[in-house]
Chains A and B, each alone.
Chain A
Amino acid sequence: MSRVRALLRFLWDFVIGDDWRIAAAVVVALAATLVVSQSNVPVWWLLPLVVVVILAISVWDVARRRS
């Protein structure tokens, strides 16, 4: 069991890293893009927008915690 847990922990650290909100935001943005694109509305801008916003939030949080 501890080996499975260690493997899961490793995979989490490897893919998700220090801030899980980044992965969550990417998953939600991809799902939203997929849903909206089915209605032929241009939605290419959503993913870059989410990337910029979540990255800004994540680094700002680190800076804020330092103060």
Chain B
Amino acid sequence: MSGTQAGLVVAVFIACAVEATEALTIVMAVGVTRSWRSALIGVGVALVVLAAVTAALGPALTALPINVLRGVVGGLLLVFGLQWLRKAILRASGLKSLHDENAAYAEESHAAADAGPVAPGIDPYAFFVSFKGTLLEGLEVVFIALTFGSNQKDVPLAAAAAAAAVLVMVGIGVMIRAPLARVPENTLKFVVGVMLTSFGTFWGGEGADAHWPGGELALPVLIVGYLAFALVAVAALRRLQAAREQVLSRPVRA
């Protein structure tokens, strides 16, 4: 396995583990509060839709010439990765609230309990909330696995990493029968943001005919460079926040 393939596996696994954790929280909340059967049918239908999307987009992407693929899909991955990294920096610096699975579970359970009586047969609320949660989180999994897989010309490897992540997280969820609150989601999202941004830059640059010094060795340099930048940004924003709070807490003189 090459260094780029190893990076692909790590990035896809972590990204998909985070998405699976979030989907699991939603399904668990509506399953426990309303109807497991309806929630699981919602998951099943969402998985069918995701499989159809993958079957439609996968071959279309891999049929593109490699430079077009890397330019367009690398660019998309870069934009997508920058979204993750931007949110991760804002969360780590206190400018955006941290993602908390226990709070998300409580919120979903509360909303599910307030949604009226559980319908006999398939409960529409449990079905649709579970369907929507799985579909939205799953689309991110499909997007990440397909963009990484098609750029590396190894969709099966990316798909295997994604499937392994989902199976591991669902397995742990089934065993502990609780939301996976101990998963360090905010840290993982930070790492994923750096990885997606680095791979997106590398492939996007290659697609635009840029020649990276050192070839594939440029990728770990990009990862370390973006990580260092993100950490410096977090430290600077935290200091700014602290200075602002100090000014605001000073008593006003009459």
| Residues of A bordering B, CB below 8 Å | 14-19, 22-23, 26-27, 30-31, 33-34, 37-38, 42-44, 46-48, 51-52, 54-56, 58-59, 62-63, 66-67
A47 touches B233 (CB 8 A): no
- Docked CA distance A15–B143 (Å): 10
Considering only CB atoms, which chain B residue lies closest to A32 in the complex? B208
Contacts of A31 in B (CB 8 A): 208
A56 touches B233 (CB 8 A): yes
With A30-B71, A52-B229 known as contacts, the answer to whether A63 contacts B240 (CB < 8 A) is yes
Q: Mark B127-156, 1 if CB is under 8 A from A, else 0.
A: 000000000000110010000000000000
Which among A16, A19, A59 has the greatest number of chain B C-beta atoms within 10 A?
A: A59
Q: Given A48-B222, A63-B93, A66-B95, 5 other A-B contacts at CB below 8 A?
A: A22-B79, A23-B79, A27-B75, A34-B71, A47-B205
Q: Which residues of chain B in 177-236 are interfacial with respect to chain A, using CB atoms and an 8 Å cutoff?
A: 197, 201, 204-205, 207-213, 218, 222, 225-226, 229, 233
Which among A17, A37, A62, A63 has the greatest number of chain B C-beta atoms within 10 A?
A: A63
**Chain B contact residues: over half helix, strand or loop, or mixed?**
helix
- Docked CA distance A47–B75 (Å): 10
- Docked CA distance A26–B237 (Å): 24
The answer, yes or no, to whether B244 is at the interface (CB within 8 Å) is yes
A19 touches B86 (CB 8 A): yes
A46 touches B237 (CB 8 A): no
With A19-B86, A33-B205, A62-B95 known as contacts, the answer to whether A46 contacts B210 (CB < 8 A) is yes
